[in-house]
Chain A
Amino acid sequence: MTSTKAIESISSSKGSVRSDLRQETLALTRRLFIQLVRRPSTLIAGVVQPLIWLILFGALFSNAPEGLLPGGMSYGRFLGAGVIVFTAFSGALNAGLPVMFDREFGFLNRLLVAPLSSRNSIIFASVIYITSISLIQSLAIMGTAFLLGYGWPGTTGLFVVLLTLLLLVFAVTALSLGLAFALPGHIELIAVIFVINLPLLFASTALAPISFMPVWLGWLAAVNPLTFAIEPIRAAYGGPLDLGLVILHAPYGDLTGYGCLGILIALSIGLFFLISPLLNRKLA
Chain B
Amino acid sequence: MYLIELQDLVKSYGTVKALNGLSLKVPTGSLFGLLGPNGSGKTTTLRILCTLLSPDSGKASVAGLDVVKDPRSVRREIGYVAQEVAIDKILTGFELLQLQGDLYHLEPKDRNLRIAELIEKLEMQSWINRRCGTYSGGMRRRLDLASGLLHRPQLLVLDEPTVGLDIESRTAIWQLLLDLKSQGTTVLISSHYLEEVEALADQMAILDKGRVIAEGKPEDLKERLGGDRVTLKVREFSNENESEKVRNLLVNVRGVRQVVVNCVQGFSLNLVVDDESVLPRLREALDRSKIQLFALSHSRASLDDVYLQATGRTLMDAELAASNQRDVKLENKQAMR
> Which of B101-109, B179-187, B234-242 makes up part of the contact surface?
B101-109
Contact with A along B71-102 (1 / 0, CB 8 A): 01101101010101111101100010011101
Cβ-neighbour of A105 out of B70, B73, B86, B147 (below 8 A): B86
Min C-beta distance of B93 to chain A, whole Å: 13
Q: Does A34 contact B (CB under 8 A)?
A: yes
Instruction: Tell which of B50, B86, B332, B333 has the most Cβ of chain A within 10 Å.
Output: B86
Could you count the A-B residue pairs with CB atoms below 8 Å apart for me: how many are there?
92
Q: State the interface size on chain A (CB cutoff 8 A).
A: 40
Q: Does A283 contact B (CB under 8 A)?
A: yes
Q: Does A41 contact B (CB under 8 A)?
A: no
Tell me the chain A residues, 1-17 only, with Cβ under 8 Å from chain B. Answer: 1, 5, 9, 12-15
Q: Does A69 contact B (CB under 8 A)?
A: no
Cβ-neighbour of A104 out of B85, B147, B336 (below 8 A): B336
Chain B residues lying within 8 Å of A14, measured Cβ to Cβ, are: 105
Whether A20 and B86, one on each chain, are in contact in the complex, defined by CB atoms closer than 8 angstroms, is no
Closest chain B residue, CB of each to CB of A281: B337
Whether B90 and A35, one on each chain, are in contact in the complex, defined by CB atoms closer than 8 angstroms, is yes
Chain B residues lying within 8 Å of A26, measured Cβ to Cβ, are: 102
The CA of A24 and the CA of B111, in the complex, are separated in Å by 13
Q: Does A106 contact B (CB under 8 A)?
A: yes
The CA of A35 and the CA of B131, in the complex, are separated in Å by 11
Whether A34 and B91, one on each chain, are in contact in the complex, defined by CB atoms closer than 8 angstroms, is yes
Whether B73 and A106, one on each chain, are in contact in the complex, defined by CB atoms closer than 8 angstroms, is no
Q: Does A114 contact B (CB under 8 A)?
A: yes
> Given the known A-B contacts A27-B98, A34-B91, A38-B90, are A113 and B105 also in contact in the complex, defined by CB atoms under 8 Å?
no
Contact with B along A82-93 (1 / 0, CB 8 A): 000000000000
Min C-beta distance of B265 to chain A, whole Å: 37
Q: Does A70 contact B (CB under 8 A)?
A: no
Chain A residues lying within 8 Å of B73, measured Cβ to Cβ, are: 9, 12, 115
Whether A113 and B80, one on each chain, are in contact in the complex, defined by CB atoms closer than 8 angstroms, is yes
Chain B residues lying within 8 Å of A113, measured Cβ to Cβ, are: 50-52, 75, 78, 80
Cβ-neighbour of A115 out of B75, B88, B147, B337 (below 8 A): B75
Whether A114 and B84, one on each chain, are in contact in the complex, defined by CB atoms closer than 8 angstroms, is no
Chain B residues lying within 8 Å of A23, measured Cβ to Cβ, are: 102, 105
Cβ-neighbour of B76 out of A34, A103, A115 (below 8 A): A115
Q: List 7 A-B contacts (CB under 8 A).
A: A5-B70, A13-B76, A23-B102, A107-B87, A110-B82, A111-B103, A116-B103
Across the A-B interface, give the 9 residue pairs with the lowest CB-CB distance, nearest first. Answer: A27-B102, A106-B86, A114-B103, A115-B75, A107-B86, A115-B76, A105-B86, A20-B105, A35-B90
